[in-house]
């Protein structure tokens, strides 16, 4: 398949050295950066970003995407400090040479037209701030935000044509959305994939072992030109998981002795699907 592997390597280790080792062990050269040490990417300084870029380059690796928490605030929260944080992270993306920037479409939304317009107003301000940066903004479907199911993702992407989609099968499943139906609706908008799978109970399982139809989606993605698939296994209760899911923690149906073991198992499963697909 015409797909390159990326990873949220912080699921193997919070330290940049541990992330590099996990990526090296699994033949992955692209990092979707989210946590480094005790910091979320939003709190990393410019000088730290330069150091991270250089450390990765020393091992033939680079930052592919900023796995930011942008858009993971409530609609009633003050947007201005959040926009300032977005601009800082956009600067980090430029320093580290990232191609993509992951964001979300806000908690405490509803189906009203007024709410949709308010979401679009915020998203458009971020799009405007990113103009000329050379970085593609990509919206991830996520539980509890406006763009949680396919029809709402499509409505948002149609309204903001410069925005692209990150397709996360497990997140769709956990919202009751059939992944193949979601793919048929969103395929033209998809920029890259997040690889996470889950079973009928909503518990996370290794890629390809759940109901996400990952082999089929990877094949469809490859057939339309492919690109990058970021490994986001969520197979262990890694530090920071509760910060990613609005205070919740997605449970895994499997048990692994270490985060490295879980990461390696997920990487192996994804590589097998890509090479044998």
Residue with tokens 């998981």: 241
The pLDDT, as a whole number, for residue 233 is: 85
pLDDT value at 242 more than 80: no
Q: What is the pLDDT of residue 68?
A: 98
**What SS3 class is residue 239?**
coil
Give the C-alpha distances (Å, rounded to integers) separating 150 from 18, 41, 184, 261.
35, 28, 9, 33
DSSP label at 141? P
**What is the model's pLDDT at position 234?**
81
pLDDT at position 175 is 95
For residue 256, the model assigns a pLDDT of: 80
Tell me the per-residue pLDDT of 74-130, one tens digit each, with 9 for 90 and over. Answer: 999 999 999 999 999 999 999 999 999 999 999 999 999 999 999 999 999 999 999
Residues 119 and 71 sit within 8 Å (Cβ to Cβ): no
The answer on pLDDT for 14 being more than 80 is yes
CA angle (26 as vertex; 20, 27 as ends), nearest 5: 85
Closest CA to 30 of 208, 171, 193, 186: 193
Q: Is the pLDDT confidence value at 146 over 90?
A: yes
Read off the pTM. 0.92
Confidence of residue 249 (pLDDT cuts 50, 70, 90): low
Please give the pLDDT value at position 257.
80
pLDDT of residue 251: 64
Choose the CATH number for 3-276 among 2.70.70.10, 3.40.50.880, 3.90.440.10, 3.20.20.150: 3.20.20.150
What are the sequence ranges of the domains in the chain? 3-276
Measured between alpha carbons, how far is 48 from 246 in angstroms, rounded to an integer? 27
Question: Computed over its alpha carbons, how large is the radius of gyration of the chain?
Answer: 17
**CA 256-214-247 angle, 5° bins:** 55
Instruction: Tell me how far the alpha carbon of residue 175 is from its chain's centroid.
Output: 17
43 CB-near residues (< 8 Å, 6+ apart): none
Residue 219 pLDDT greater than 80, yes or no:
yes
Decide if 31 contacts 267 (C-beta within 8 A). no
Residue 239 and residue 247 in contact, taking contact as beta carbons nearer than 8 Å: no
**Please, what is the average pLDDT of the chain?**
93
């Amino acid at each position: 398949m015409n797909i390159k592997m990326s990873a949220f390597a912080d699921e193997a280790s919070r330290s940049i050295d541990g992330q590099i080792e996990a990526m090296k062990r699994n033949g992955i050269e692209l990092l979707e950066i989210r946590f480094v040490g005790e910091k979320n990417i939003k709190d990393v300084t410019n000088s730290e970003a330069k150091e991270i870029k250089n450390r990765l380059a020393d091992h033939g690796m680079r930052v592919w995407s900023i796995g930011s928490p942008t858009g993971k605030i409530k609609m009633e929260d003050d947007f201005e400090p959040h926009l300032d944080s977005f601009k800082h992270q956009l600067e980090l993306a430029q320093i580290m040479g990232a191609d993509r920037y992951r964001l979300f479409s806000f908690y405490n939304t509803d189906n009203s037209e007024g709410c949709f317009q308010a979401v679009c107003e915020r998203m458009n301000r971020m799009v405007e701030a990113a103009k000329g940066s050379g970085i593609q903004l990509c919206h991830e479907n996520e539980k509890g935000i406006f763009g949680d199911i396919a029809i709402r993702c499509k409505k948002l992407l149609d309204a903001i044509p410069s925005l692209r989609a990150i397709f996360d099968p497990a997140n769709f499943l956990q919202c009751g959305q059939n992944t193949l139906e979601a793919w048929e609706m969103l395929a033209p908008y998809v920029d890259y994939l997040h690889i996470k799978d889950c079973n009928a109970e909503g518990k996370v399982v290794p890629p390809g072992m759940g109901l996400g139809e990952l082999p089929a989606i990877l094949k469809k993605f490859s057939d339309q030109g492919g690109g990058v698939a970021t490994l986001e296994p969520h197979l262990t209760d890694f530090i920071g998981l509760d910060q990613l899911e609005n205070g919740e923690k997605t449970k895994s149906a499997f048990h692994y002795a270490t985060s490295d073991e879980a990461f390696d198992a997920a990487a192996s499963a994804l590589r097998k699907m890509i090479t044998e697909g």
